[in-house]
Amino acid sequence: MSLAHFHLTGPRAAGALLFFVLLASAVPADGQETAADTPRSHPASFPHLLVVDLRDVLGAPLSWRSPQWERFSLAVAGVGAVALADRWVRDAEARDHNRLVGQVTHHFESLGSGAAFGILGTFYVVGLVGHDEKSRNVGEDGVIASVIAGGIITPVLKYAVGRERPRDTAKAFDFKPFGGSSSFPSGHATEAFAVASVIASDYDSGGVKGAAYGSAVLVAFARVHHQAHFASDVTAGALIGSSVGRAVVHRNRDERARYALAPIAGPHGEPGMAVVFGF
């Protein structure tokens, strides 16, 4: 361990409800430790974490062993099992004209796109203003997970698989690889579950975990209900988003542990900070 010293002186109703639940969870309660009480992870910069995560998360399959390949095979088999019900689910949702279901799905659907980044941005700002590293880390990790899962993995699979959307075909298995169709996997489900898994990984509260994953499930259901995706599309998106989100959080915890800010006293008693590097 070595020390280097840097001296420093001195959506709507339903979506809004989730927004404030998550906001409340990001603010430390009275008596709870804050970033000023413990070493902080600030020096591990966002660009550094992004590069490390792109390398390690995308490259992870190259180092997988039997247990990892077994879990991957189970996930693929699970998506395949859900696909057997794709036609039945699509037809059932096409016949469902329940007004309440339509309103709920409409309000939550944006949490799989732009609104997700609004939530992550709020976590980050709360972390900066409140000196809450956990909240700030959620914002950073969520964006990185979104870039990897929703910006790289899912778009590549969409293009390669080329599945027609349920509203555009009468078939349940209509594939035109590299033909421009983009039903499999669901980008909205990928994004929603990537964000949900990051939040759930950082907060122990059952209420926060339930709100995060419950909202992601509603996003996935909305895409099926609106005939934008088959059930297996959103299942695959959920698995991709969750896996990448958890991997990013765990990888970044290890990376941030290599760097920490700790309060110190200067030669004449003035306050300062030490950056601790782990080797």
C-alpha to C-alpha distance for 137 and 109, rounded to whole angstroms: 25
Bond into 267 cis (ω within 30): no
Mean pLDDT by 10 residues, the chain (279 residues): 38 38 38 39 78 94 95 96 97 90 89 93 95 94 97 97 95 93 96 97 94 96 96 97 97 84 56 51
Per-residue confidence (pLDDT) for residue 19, from 0 to 100: 39
Q: Is residue 73 part of a domain?
A: yes
What would the 3-class secondary structure string for 107-118 be?
A: HHHHHHCHHHHH
Phi–psi pair at 2, nearest 5 degrees = -130, 155
**Amino acid identity at 258:** R
The answer to whether the CB of 137 falls within 8 A of the CB of 252 is yes
* CA-closest candidate to residue 210, choices 232, 218, 114: 218
Per-residue confidence (pLDDT) for residue 97, from 0 to 100: 84
Q: Is residue 152 part of a domain?
A: yes
* CA-closest candidate to residue 248, choices 130, 127, 143, 145: 145
Q: Is residue 276 part of a domain?
A: no
Q: Is residue 71 part of a domain?
A: yes
Q: Is residue 237 part of a domain?
A: yes
Give the number of domains in the chain: 1
Per-residue confidence (pLDDT) for residue 96, from 0 to 100: 86
Q: Is residue 238 part of a domain?
A: yes
The answer to whether the CB of 223 falls within 8 A of the CB of 236 is no
Range of the domain at 72: 14-25+45-258
**Distance from the Cα of residue 95 to its chain's centroid:** 32
Per-residue confidence (pLDDT) for residue 15, from 0 to 100: 40
Q: Is residue 186 part of a domain?
A: yes
Per-residue confidence (pLDDT) for residue 6, from 0 to 100: 36
User: What's the token pair of residue 259?
Assistant: 């760097």
Q: Is residue 204 part of a domain?
A: yes
Strand order in the sheet with 2-6: 2-6, 271-277, 259-265
C-alpha to C-alpha distance for 14 and 159, rounded to whole angstroms: 33
Per-residue confidence (pLDDT) for residue 44, from 0 to 100: 72
Per-residue confidence (pLDDT) for residue 277, from 0 to 100: 47
The answer to whether the CB of 85 falls within 8 A of the CB of 166 is no
Per-residue confidence (pLDDT) for residue 17, from 0 to 100: 37
The answer to whether the CB of 36 falls within 8 A of the CB of 131 is yes
Per-residue confidence (pLDDT) for residue 271, from 0 to 100: 59
**Amino acid identity at 30:** D
